[in-house]
Amino acid sequence: MVKKLEDIKGVGPQLIKQFRKHGIWSIYDLLLCVPKSYENFSLTDLKDAKHKDTITIECVISSDLSLNRYGKTPRVTFKCQIDHEMIDIVAFGKGYLVQSFKKGDQVVIKGLYNLYYHQINVSSITKPEKRTEIKPIYGLEGIYDKTITHIIHEIYQNNDDAIYEIIPEHIYQPLNYISRSQAYHKIHLPQNENDLYLSKARLKFEEAFFLQLRWMANRPNQIFREPKVYDITRVRSFIDQIPFELTKDQKDTVNDIFRDFKKNVASYRLIQGDVGSGKTIVSLLAAYAIMTAGEQVAFMAPTELLVNQHYQFFSNMIKDFNILRLTGSTKYKEKEKYDLETNHYDIVIGTHALIEDDVKFKSLGLVIIDEQHKFGVEARQQLIDKAQHKDVLYLTATPIPRTLAMILYGNSHVSAIKEKPKQRKLIDTILIDKTQIQLLIDGIRLAINQKEHVFLVVPAIHSELIGDNIDTVSEWLTKEGFNQFFILHGEQTKEKNEWSMKSFIESPGSILISTSMVEVGIDLPTATLMAIFSAERFGLAQLHQLRGRVGRSHLKSVCYLVSNGEDNERLEVLEKTQDGFKLSEFDLKQRGPGDFIGIEQSGFPNFKFLDLQHDYELLLQAQKEVLKLLDQKDFKTNPKYRYFNRFIHEDMKL
């Protein structure tokens, strides 16, 4: 019989009322309400104690206790011996001590250490047998911590804890985790640090396990297909012709992809790589291999500009296959349609025009989606659905923290390109305000004289927003005597924007003023100066993307963040790091996982124990266990796993 809270010795109506105020209705509720923190009474080694440390020592009282006054406050002083050393003990406002202790007593003293006076200013003294090393702090208003500890003691003494196990023993025991009941016991009544460690590890694992269970159970179904029979000799000799050496991360990623191709299930892989890390060549090699296997490739990018750039790059590199470009503005001709359907074209590179119904393939074998976060889930799926074999590569320059990537995609489906090509110089990032604008003016002048390209980015087109916009910055430029600049923003026609971009690219020593439209993908080696006005109005990831438009060659580049003084801490992070992966970790810490995956579909509960940023290894371990479990043939039918199945399908909370 499960006992009620009010049946526990020492729990009266008054206390019940207080508990209810805190949402505690049952023994179970109470046990789930774990301490917010702990006061630590574990013994200090005096040799390690620093001036003004709070320390705890065990020692013998070696003088009589004398009671005197310090102003109006009673003061007790005496001496203690520890490790052959004498220490002066002073206790304010604790006159009763002279009754409780005497010379020769063994005591545990906690207090503030004065290294120079060799003195401890006491906060508490107890007999050694009464010492608990660690005192839980619950911080529930109206209820003493002592009371809670007492009640919990009572509960465990009578085996009334009613904490049932929710992970099978055969899973948690070999990993050296303790049981759920033990974990709650130890977290409320820890004897020592190790108890705390064990209980927290177990409870973290539990959270990780159920998080992984929900995500892994909903991962895409495995689709069986024949291994891809690409021509490795041809691929190798193609690699030999690349005008640069691939970085180690690029090589590793290519190997990951080729390993996927050899399997008998269709693969999907997320390739995370900072701006300019060289994802395109990696995807090109994947595409090339698939074409040597006699299958077609669809490559989708979010803007025409990017499609054109990729088309150029692919056409320069690949001479032995036929490449089709398909965007909203290139008319899809009957002949091309026929040629695609009959396998004349080996690869088609396009915008989301690719998902139109009349774009049909003969044998689509690989889908590549560049800057995948720019597409909606539906657009991606529509394209993937066209592939009979559904091998997919997702490329993204907005890395998500590695823990999230592992959870969302599964550990074996993520590759990261962290290392940048060798000759890249770091971009100087400089945070300035309007009083230092001359720095920027000088910078622009220098860049233009050297026939380099300058980007100026603003958060708005007109002055509907406080802050800088296209209008104000164009006026400012004119006033400063710059006259060759082009403008790009969403209110101009597509033709006008394309013209702007093209003219900008073709005119070395010119300036482009733009909204954040220019964010994605464009690779212009001679771009060396980026200035972002009202930088505080942009997200961290977005600022990093914008910065990535420069620093794309051996030329030294600068990024100015022009701020109006708000939120500078965030901008300073950007000044200090150019590692998109680190920035994403910072975003995760600041804003939580919802920002990366959409709050409403996130399915991430608030964790009590788990830390998404730091518990990578533990999450990985949980993922392995969950995958093993899900792969069991009887997982859906065995009553043993009913609880898990309900958890997966019924949106049940733990």
Contact present, 421 and 278 (Cβ < 8 Å): yes
Does residue 459 bind ligand ADP (CB under 6 A)?
A: no
Stretch that binds ligand ADP, among 186-194, 273-281, 381-389, 458-466 (CB under 6 A): 273-281
Out of 279, 325, 453, 537, the residue judged to bind ligand ADP by CB under 6 A: 279
**Interface residue with ligand ADP, options 111, 276, 401, 593 (CB under 6 A):** 276
302 binds Mg ion (CB under 5 A): no
Q: Where are the alpha helices (DSSP H) in 421-534?
A: 437-449, 470-479, 494-506
Position among 149, 280, 296, 510 found at the interface with ligand ADP (CB under 6 A): 280
Mark 139-178 with x for binding to ligand ADP (rule: CB under 6 A) and - for no binding: ----------------------------------------
Spell out the alpha helix ranges (H) of 11-96: 13-21, 27-32
Binding characters for ligand ADP, 412-451, by CB under 6 A (x = yes): ---------x------------------------------
Angle at which helices 145-157 and 180-188 cross, to 10°: 140
Residue 319 sits at φ, ψ, to 5 deg, of -105, -15
Q: Report in angstroms the alpha-carbon separations of 634 from 265, 631, 642.
A: 22, 9, 11
Q: Which residue is nearest to Mg ion (CB)?
A: 521
Task: State how far the Cα of 73 lies from the Cα of 546, in Å rounded to an integer.
Answer: 64
Pairwise CA distance, residues 308 & 300, whole Å? 11
In 3D, which of 203, 202, 208, 195 has the Cα closest to residue 177? 202
* Torsion, Cα of 313, 315, 320, 325 (10° steps): 120
Question: Are 314 and 282 spatial neighbours (Cβ–Cβ below 8 Å)?
Answer: no
Closer to ligand ADP by Cβ: residue 196 or 246: 246
H helix runs in 302-436, sequence order? 304-317, 334-341, 377-386, 402-409
Among the listed residues 171, 150, 152, 147, the one whose alpha carbon sits nearest the alpha carbon of residue 163: 152
Residue 273 in the binding site for ligand ADP (CB under 6 A):
yes
CB of 230: closest distance to ligand ADP in angstroms? 21
Task: Say whether residue 523 binds ligand ADP (CB under 6 A).
Answer: yes
Judged by CB under 6 A, the chain residues 76 through 135 that form the site for ligand ADP are none
Which residue, 399 or 521, has its beta carbon nearer to Mg ion?
521
**Among residues 246, 349, 364, 501, the one that binds ligand ADP under rule CB under 6 A:** 246
Choose which of 70, 144, 164, 244 interacts with ligand ADP (CB under 6 A): 244
277 near ligand ADP, judged by CB under 6 A: yes
Smallest gap from residue 457 Cβ to ligand ADP (A): 17
Minimal distance, residue 255 CB to Mg ion, in Å: 20
399 binds Mg ion (CB under 5 A): no
H-type helices in 318-450, by residue range?
334-341, 377-386, 402-409, 437-449
- Report how far apart, in Å, the C-alpha atoms of 427 and of each of 75, 133, 380 are: 63, 51, 33
Show the site string, 549-578: x = touches ligand ADP by CB under 6 A, - = not. Answer: ---x--------------------------
Per-position x/- string for 493-522, each x denoting binding to Mg ion as judged by CB under 5 A, each - no binding: ----------------------------x-
Residue with tokens 């359907």: 341
Contacting residues toward ligand ADP, per CB under 6 A: 244-247, 250, 273, 275-281, 397, 421, 523, 552
Contacting residues toward Mg ion, per CB under 5 A: 521
